[in-house]
Structure formats: structure tokens, C-alpha cells
Chains A and B, each alone.
Chain A
Amino acid sequence: EAQVTQNPRYLITVTGKKLTVTCSQNMNHEYMSWYRQDPGLGLRQIYYSMNVEVTDKGDVPEGYKVSRKEKRNFPLILESPSPNQTSLYFCASSSLLYDTEAFFGQGTRLTVV
């Protein structure tokens, strides 16, 4: 089954404690991205990657890091989380075609206290 898997689904952490949210896809997609979703603001892209070792900033990259060492994995790293990073995070993947469908993970609800 084609899917994007994120872990964990829920996470409560304290300010400053480094964390990683994992994302894995099984569709051999070149393109992967991370979004955060906040009430009234819709989806905002954090980082994206067009292939292995190729990553670029989205609209709201501050405070986040990513890596793309393998095609299937695209982890999101918060080196020093702050309360304003409390949000719902989604990983997505797609092939590099203009009309292609993006596949989303189930989301990670992060709370930073």
C-alpha cells in the first residue's frame, strides 16, 4: 500500500530539548516536504527536497533542520524547540510532475511547553 509514515503521532516536549520527527515513503518519490498547519494559517511549507542530498527552505524554515540521506526518508529536526513551534506537522511526498498527487502522512501533533 502506498503510504507516507510519520512518527510519532503525538509529542509533548520541553523547550530546548532536541527532537526528531521521522517521515518515510514507500513510493520511490523524488519530492518530499514538511508543512506545519496552524489554525487560520492553512499549510505552510517548512522545507522541501527534490532528491537525495538536495534540500531547500520553504516559507517558514527558521528553527528547523532536515536531511535527505536516503530517497525514502526525510526527517524533521528541531534542535532547540520553542513554544511557538507547537503545531500540527505533515510530511508529504510526490513525484516530480506538475499534475502529480501529493501523498500526506497522518500528521504529528507537537506541543512544546
Chain B
Amino acid sequence: AQSVTQLGSHVSVSEGALVLLRCNYSSSVPPYLFWYVQYPNQGLQLLLKYTSAATLVKGINGFEAEFKKSETSFHLTKPSAHMSDAAEYFCAVSDSNYQLIWGAGTKLIIKP
């Protein structure tokens, strides 16, 4: 069965610092990978997705993620954190039954 692991339930960075949120997956077939963001009191929205077209994927709000097959990773990065990036971030993989397998989420805290 496929699984998704997000390292760190909470990540704290200073405003202007690099953001790195880690996601590792297990999949026996080429995966479709997603990052979603949940702002306080809101539903989840798509940040970016990997669908095998390019290993470096750019998303909204300056975020990007790199697919590394050898490491089974899909880490999310942003060069410079902004206060408005404070949210919870979820990594997910699509399985063969169209189901999304979710990571446990990482709450990003931005320090002024």
C-alpha cells in the first residue's frame, strides 16, 4: 500500500528565511504527487502537483517542489518566508484507484 510521510508536524522559520517542508512517499508505480495548503479556518487548496512533465514544479505564492525518484521525495521549498505563509501543508499521492493518500500535515510557523 502506498504511504506518505511528512517529517515534522511543526516547522518554525523566521520571516525571510528559507522554507523547507519534507515529504517522502512509497509507491511501486510512477506517482502523481500533490502539495495542498490549508489556511486557518479554510479548506484545502492545491499548491502544486507533479505529473511527470518536469521534476521541478512551480506552484502558487512562490512555492516549488522537486521530485526525486531516487530518494522517493517531493520536498516543498520557498526561498523567502512571508508571514502570510503561515498555514498547514499537506503532501498527497494519487493511487491506482484515484484515491489521494495523505501525509499527516506540517504546520508552518513564521517568526517575525
Q: Are B104 and A104 in contact (CB under 8 A)?
A: no
Cβ 8 A contact of B90, one of A4, A31, A42, A101: A42
Q: Are B98 and A96 in contact (CB under 8 A)?
A: yes
Q: Are B100 and A42 in contact (CB under 8 A)?
A: no
Given that A99-B32, A99-B51, A101-B49 are contacting pairs, would A90 and B98 also be in contact in the complex, using a CB cutoff of 8 Å? Answer: no
Q: How many of chain A's residues touch chain B, expressed as a range?
A: 20 to 34
CB-CB < 8 A to A73: which residues of B?
A: none
Report the separation of the CA atoms of residues A97 and B99 in the bound assembly, to the nearest whole angstrom: 10
Q: Are A48 and B99 in contact (CB under 8 A)?
A: yes
Cβ of B43 under 8 Å from chain A:
yes
Q: Are A45 and B98 in contact (CB under 8 A)?
A: no
Report the separation of the CA atoms of residues A31 and B94 in the bound assembly, to the nearest whole angstrom: 13
Cβ of A75 under 8 Å from chain B:
no
Q: Are B32 and A40 in contact (CB under 8 A)?
A: no
Query: Which positions in A face B, CB cutoff 8 Å?
Result: 4, 31, 40-43, 45, 48, 50, 90, 92, 94, 96-99, 101-102, 104-107
The 10 closest A-B pairs by CB, nearest first: A104-B43, A42-B104, A99-B51, A104-B44, A43-B102, A101-B46, A99-B32, A98-B94, A98-B32, A42-B105
Report the separation of the CA atoms of residues A90 and B41 in the bound assembly, to the nearest whole angstrom: 12
Report the separation of the CA atoms of residues A94 and B105 in the bound assembly, to the nearest whole angstrom: 21
Q: Are B43 and A107 in contact (CB under 8 A)?
A: yes
Q: Return the CB mask of B80-112 against A: 1 if under 8 Å, else 0.
A: 000000000010001000111011110000000
